[in-house]
A and B are shown apart, each in its own frame.
Chain A
Amino acid sequence: MVPEAALVIGALFVLALDIAYGRRRTLESRLYIAVITGTVAVVAAMYGAFSSGLADSVFGGALILDELTMATRLGVLVLAWITLTLAGSTARLRHPAEFVAIVLFATAGFTLMAAAHQLLVAFVALELASLSLYILAGFDKSKPESAEAALKYFLFGGMSAAFLLFGFSLIYGLTGSIELHEISAHLAGHPPTPLLSVALVMVLVAFGFKAAAAPFHLWAPDVYEGAPVSSSALIASASKLAGLTLFVRLLWPGFGPGAGNVSTAAGAPGWLAIVACLSAASLLLGNFAALAQPNLRRLLAYSAIAHAGVMLLGVIAAGDAGNGPLFYYVFTYGIATIGAFGVIAVIERTSPCQRITDLAGLYRRSPLLTGCLAIYILSLAGIPPLAGFFGKFTVFAAALNLGGLAGPAGWLAILAIFLSAVALYYYLIVLKQALVCPAPVAPSAAPSSSVPDRIPVPPDAAIVLVFAALLLLLLGLFPSVLLRIF
């Protein structure tokens, strides 16, 4: 519990410090202090997560500390650190301390989600994270889009939480336990009932929402577009990682006996079939809808939906191949996405960055941002040697190893491989604006000067952006570093 304690104490400390000393200071310095305090808390939590060691059962089985817990906690903390730093250098917030505190609370929720090994703890952790994220989505009170994003996110999230709780209560009623291993033992000993199917479908609805998988994806484009950039970054990256870890733990160790089989065409029915359907729908909808997006953030949202399809494929394969491929994929996806949002955030300090065409001429305005953006986008597109490529490769290999092309898992992998060619198109459209198209000459600029304004990059933002880009490159070159953990 050290990481959670560190994060919560850090959050309270941020608030207290702001109340005690922040009143007479400028917003910038208050934000600065809050971010520094928050970073200390995150680093302390990292140390705690790293030194906690492995344990099968903590607090009477409520939590589990295995390799997946440790990896997810560290991954989430890295992503939260990047978010905080980006927020510190780019956000213009009226309540900086509250923002940082809520990010820390959300992160505490994520680390708990990573460790939850019991239905109730899982639900509480999920709600702690979700409630914080609703607030973060609506944090920019000056923009109506932000309020819309928060409302939409809240309504969908609340609905999915209700489904999840209903599903949990049915499972408790069926099996008489909220402990995952007892549920699993019970399910293995009894034939599946229709009620169990209802319960599993309800859990999967909540999962689909959390992973932004079609057809539960509708919130994603609006939230990505309307929420403050740092909030979107956190929702798109750390929240995904924690959510995937939570649900893969619920599904395989918990409801594993009800999984069924999708590695052959006529496999036994189970929740895997539903996950496979969600995966196919997300892959198709995400990739094709992204083609038509003129708005950069909505494009990232649809690309997130497409990536959710691959993640669900990783969930399908996790029963056989373990959590390694899935974790690698989600974590590196998180890094690339948070980086892309970071670039947007830095650009937005000086000029609007909503449409893809707003990136035009970025290579003249800021070579650093262009280079970083190219790495993030190419990683999302799955171009080697970046991490996004190997993530896809290992997930597809795991899915194909389930049964070759004999069943839906293999077909999904092939579908995803071909759709990656579709995806390359819209990613290249983004990069075309950044790297090829000339910048529009500002009407205020002197007619003789064709050099557009340079975008200043704050040093701390530059450091995390370069860090994220290097991480993608190094993890892509040496993926064993992560895979070896599992």
Chain B
Amino acid sequence: MNALPFTIYVSFAGALLALAAGTRSHSAARWIALVTALTSFALTLLVASSFVPSPGLQTIIDLPWIAELGIRYHLAADGISLTLLVLTGLAATVGVLFSWNIEHRVGEFFALYLILISGVFGVFLSADAFTMFVFYEIAIVPKYFLIANWGSPATREHAAMKLVLYSFAGSALVLAGLLWANAVAIAHGSVSSFSLNDLAAAATHFSRGEQIGLFALVFTGFAVLAGMFPFHTWAPTGHVAAPTAASMLLAGVVMKLGAYGCLRVAMPLFPVGLAFWQPTIAALAIIGIFYAGFIALVQEDFKFVIGYSSVSHMGFVLLGLAAANSTAVAGAVLQMFSHGVIAGLLFAVVGRMVYERTHTRQLADLRQLPLHRLLPFAALTFVLAGLASMGMPGFSGFPAELTILIGVWKTSPAWAFFAGGGILVAAAFTLRAIQVSFFGSTQLSPVAASASEPTHAGSPLHYEPITLAEKVGTALLLAATVYIGLKPDVLLDWITPALQSPLMQGALKGGSL
């Protein structure tokens, strides 16, 4: 356990090193980033290998930070955080591998990338709301520069600004909620504190109106980052404009920050508010699943398909949270992990393997190319990732969505019924994307030959082969999704005890309809 905070520090130190090394040698910066990400991944796996699940957060560090306001630097972990920490380590490592081809301002790219990662690690480890908020904001700002500098030129500035302003507006809601909660707690006689345990204890004395208002502020603030309808519009544009590694991180990890905040802060602190808003959240989640799914079905831009599919899949996470029983919430956490891995794979194929070789993301153009023959590795990966995304047994998406649906059924069969339909939509848009992009044509049509850039004029299209870095990254992600698909108990055994903690039980009890 004690090694976990070093994921934060190592990433941050790696960021400084990469920045310093980047001015001299690009490959040094890359290797520093890779070693840093691997180190933190290894740290999470090391802790995971000896992790003994227990209810409640296991404190790692608890130091007074700002005594005047009762703020503590309190890091702690339980099975839920550990699941997401492992995911972050994995996504960080793979993200570095898929950004190996970045040539422009390499040091700065990896520095921002690693700062983002260290912020994400920090959020998953925080047990003090102030500490968590600080890390949360540290994770927001680098996204702007990652997208605005290294994104796709046409839309990057607009998309980056939109994404950051949405995130920041969400965090402003959270900040307002936390400060208000602290003020109300003081008015009810507590001492000033931002520790999640203290706030939850104080919140039991809050009036119903205060609980409802506070829950709305904090949950909405976090849910913006989780891509909840109708605050999801930053996600597709941001994902599409971002460079591949940033898309992978955004969809894979950063959206989980929002869901994690909902689960860790909003729900345990304000269970009465949760009970009040539960149907609304569930409705918004189901709308999100369908709405984003239908949009993904008609997108002409390959990356937008994946971007909207992320919103759709995150709808399942939010639905699981809204159901607020231990099965559904465990499923939601499992889905966070699963979607983190699968979204990483999908974005890796679309953004890196396909786009950087064909220089088009338009499905109409890709339809002209026999991509399954030109890029067989990419085609295979995408088919497997697509199957995982549709929720095929054997991949992590299946146990995750199944657990969510079982849990949701316990709360409300009607919700489960609707959400089950969402899986069909997901299957539809994924199959369409597979069919159109990789198997649209068996031969090279003359139109496409002239539109794209063949390396040898006259000969059949020939793209630069998939690099080793890409293959290793893909293998890691595929291994993760298959492993969890076959043995979801590995994660569920961590997650379920964490939900037995008094804090979480309060939330789940308050939430049972």
Q: Which residues in A have some Cβ–Cβ distance to B below 8 Å?
A: 324, 363, 367, 378, 383-385, 389-390, 393-394, 396-397, 400-401, 403-405, 410, 413-414, 417-418, 420-421, 424-425, 428, 431-432, 435-436, 479-480, 483-484
Contact = CB atoms under 8 A, between A and B. Distances in A.
Contacts of B13: none
Closest A-B pairs by Cβ, 4 of them: A400-B183, A384-B134, A421-B169, A483-B68
Contacts of B157: 432, 436
17 contacts: A383-B137, A384-B133, A384-B138, A389-B137, A394-B69, A397-B192, A401-B182, A401-B192, A404-B180, A404-B183, A414-B176, A418-B169, A421-B165, A424-B164, A431-B145, A436-B148, A479-B66
B134 A418 contact: no
Nearest to B145: A435
Nearest to A378: B141
B103 to A, nearest CB: 15
Contacts of B164: 424, 428
Contacts of A424: 164-165, 168
A403 B187 CA distance: 8
Contacts of A401: 182-183, 186, 192
Contacts of B68: 324, 394, 479-480, 483-484
Main secondary structure of the interface of A (DSSP, over half): helix
Nearest to B130: A393
Contacts, number: 89
A385 B67 contact: no
B434 interface: no
Contacts of A393: 130, 175, 179
B110 interface: no
A389 B108 CA distance: 24
Interface of B: 23, 65-69, 105, 108, 130, 133-134, 137-138, 140-141, 144-145, 148-149, 157, 161, 164-165, 168-169, 172, 175-176, 179-180, 182-184, 186-187, 192
A477 to B, nearest CB: 9
Contacts of B149: 435-436
A29 B176 CA distance: 53
Nearest to B213: A405
Contacts of B180: 400, 404-405, 410, 414
A428 B133 contact: no
A384 B186 contact: no
Contacts of A431: 145
A80 to B, nearest CB: 28
Contacts of B192: 397, 401
A8 B276 CA distance: 66
A483 B148 contact: no
Given A389-B137, A404-B183, A417 B148 contact: no
A127 B314 CA distance: 61
Contacts of B148: 432, 436
B179 A421 contact: no
A435 B138 CA distance: 17
A413 B169 contact: no
Given A367-B23, A401-B192, A420-B168, 10 more contacts: A396-B179, A397-B183, A400-B183, A404-B183, A417-B176, A420-B172, A421-B165, A424-B165, A424-B168, A432-B148
Contacts of B145: 431, 435-436
A401 B70 CA distance: 14
Contact of A404 (B67, B165, B184): B184
A400 B69 contact: no
Contacts of A363: 105, 108
B144 A428 contact: yes
